[in-house]
Amino acid sequence: MNRRDALLAGAAMAFGLMAAGGAAVAADKIVLKAADVHPLGYPTVEAVISMGKKLSAATNGKYDLQMFPAMQLGSEEATLQQVQIGALAMTRVSVGPVGPIVDEVNVFNLPFVFRSEEHMRKVIDGEIGKELLKKISDHPTANLIGLAWMDSGTRSVFNKVRPITKPEDLKGLKIRMMGNPLYVDTMNALGGTGVPMPMPEVYNGIATGVVDGAENNQPSYVSFNLISVAKYYSFTRHLMIPEIVVMSKKVYNSMTPDEQKMVMKLGFEAQQEERVLWDKKVGEAMETMKKTPGVQVNEVQDPSAFQKAVKPVWDKYGAKYTKMIERISAVK
């Protein structure tokens, strides 16, 4: 490369970086950086990697996706901020931390809003799912593009003190919740004390007794190794929070209209692929929970007692979502 070419390449690279941020331009290749708190092999991570491979193939190698898994880039709140400013191209997060940015999605964060996982999948695949992704993309200051929903099963409480069979058992227990006031209120309504804490701090938080436990789906309980610090896993099934893949608006806007269409299409395919991997992962996690010494898994006595307990949360947050809640319930 002569000096002029080198200068031009340097300028192109700088321009690319400025224009696209999280999309680093190397020669004629654009690397889209993506993040996830989960490790390689976890359904959400694999589905996004597969989406990247398809995008690369569809654009003759113009785009490549580089995944930073396992909290390498920090908490979901941190990666979301990086996507918002364009330092990262994509991140897969829970709807939890998106709620404080785009209020409309908080409807999915209401406890017991879905009847079953099947119901949840129908909702995210249908009109409502598309509409809420668009709300994220259309939000004037979020700087995010809603690409896809993913399945994250059902969340239940685990702790290191005792099995939870009824809401009263949560009394006096400090339970880590994701950083969204709605969740803290949910845990308080269920009878425990909700403590907001980013995921990277949870293992130590439980190990050192800052909190007594947390709540999550079975795969996360196992893969974040929380199973080794909190032995009682109780099926309270209080939250069913979909995951979401968001892209940086800055990066998206740097793509051609055809590429943008392609990304949206591949997003929906990733949504379908992830759930196949998800069902398998839940089965594996349940196996691990059964055979790990000391781990006790229990059903609660009366699931409706937990549903009744969260009425104050619905009173406080549900009103503004009345129409959307009706539409969600109407999905059969």
Query: Which residues are at the interface with ligand BDP (CB under 6 A)?
Result: 37, 76, 93-94, 152, 178, 199, 216-217, 220, 243
CB of residue 34 to ligand BDP, shortest distance in Å:
14
What are the residue ranges of helices labelled H in 111-247?
A: 117-125, 127-138, 181-190, 202-207, 218-223
Closest CB to ligand BDP among residues 109, 217: 217
CA-closest candidate to residue 113, choices 240, 280, 17:
240
CA-closest candidate to residue 224, choices 49, 69, 70:
70
Closest CB to ligand BDP among residues 59, 152: 152
CB of residue 244 to ligand BDP, shortest distance in Å:
9
What is the distance, to the nearest Å, from the Cα of residue 252 to the centroid of all Cα atoms in its chain? 20
CB of residue 131 to ligand BDP, shortest distance in Å:
22
Closest CB to ligand BDP among residues 199, 324: 199
Inter-CA distances, 250 with 17, 20, 23, 195, 224, Å: 11, 6, 9, 34, 32
CB of residue 192 to ligand BDP, shortest distance in Å:
15
Closest CB to ligand BDP among residues 37, 289: 37
Inter-CA distances, 281 with 65, 153, 217, Å: 24, 10, 11
Closest CB to ligand BDP among residues 71, 263: 71
CB of residue 278 to ligand BDP, shortest distance in Å:
10
CB of residue 76 to ligand BDP, shortest distance in Å:
5
Closest CB to ligand BDP among residues 25, 230: 230
Would you tell me how many other CB atoms lie within 10 Å of the CB of residue 193?
16
Beta strands in 141-294 (DSSP E): 144-150, 155-159, 174-177, 193-196, 213-216, 232-239, 243-248
CB of residue 217 to ligand BDP, shortest distance in Å:
5
Q: Strands 29-35 and 63-68, how do they pair?
A: parallel
CB of residue 175 to ligand BDP, shortest distance in Å:
11
Closest CB to ligand BDP among residues 37, 282: 37
Inter-CA distances, 228 with 69, 170, 176, 231, Å: 21, 20, 16, 7
Closest CB to ligand BDP among residues 218, 254: 218
Q: Which residues of 149-159 are buried (b: 16+ CB within 10 A; e: fewer)?
A: bbbbbbbbbbb
Percent helix, strand, coil in the chain (nearest 5)?
50, 20, 30
Helices 117-125 and 127-138 meet at what angle, rounded to 10? Answer: 60
